[in-house]
Amino acid sequence: MSATRKPSVLFVCVHNAGRSQMGAAFLTHLGAGRVEVRSAGSAPAATVNPAVVEAMREVGIDISAETPKVLTTEAVQSSDVVITMGCGDACPYFPGKRYLDWTLDDPAGQGVDAVRPIRDDIEQRVRNLLTELGVRARA
C-alpha cells in the first residue's frame, strides 16, 4: 500500500448479516480509521443476525445499526483486498486485487454460544490482516 493512501478492504458473504459484518466491525474498530472498510453480500438478508449483534456487543462493538448491503462491482473495484467468506463464485474477479477466502462456519440460525468462536476467529484473522497491511491495531 502507498504510504499516502489508506488500504481498503471489502468483506463479502452471502447474506452480509453475520461473518462479513463481524469482519468489517472488527477492522473498523481495530484499524481506528486507518483502513477503509466495506462489507456486502451476494444475496443480502433483511437484517443483521441478532446473535451476531449480541456476540459483538459482548466485546464492546455495537453493530445494531448496521444493515446488509448488496455486493456491487464498484465495491470490488474500489477495494485493495477482497475477503470472501462463503460467497462462492458470486464475487466478481478483477486482476490486481488481492483476494482472500476465509473458510468460516456460517452463524445463520445459530445462537450466541455458537457465534462466539466464529467471532473470535474473525477477530484474530483481522488482527493478522492489519499486520500484513502494516497497520497497527488499536489496543
Which one-letter DSSP state was computed for residue 137? P
Of 9, 10, 12, 13, catalytic: 13
Of 17, 87, 133, 135, catalytic: 87
Strands (E) across 35-119 are located at: 36-41, 81-84, 98-101
Q: Indicate whether 22 pLDDT > 70.
A: yes
Give residue-wise pLDDT tens across range 106-139: 999 999 999 999 999 999 999 999 999 999 998 7
Instruction: Give 90's pLDDT tier (boundaries 50, 70, 90).
Output: low
Instruction: Give 4's pLDDT tier (boundaries 50, 70, 90).
Output: low
Of 81, 91, 104, 137, catalytic: 91
User: Grid coordinates representing 28?
Assistant: 473498523
Whether residue 56 contacts residue 116, with contact meaning beta carbons closer than 8 Å, is answered with no
Is 91 part of the annotated catalytic residue set? yes
Is 13 part of the annotated catalytic residue set? yes
3-state class percentages of the chain: helix first, strand second, coil last, to nearest 5: 35, 15, 45
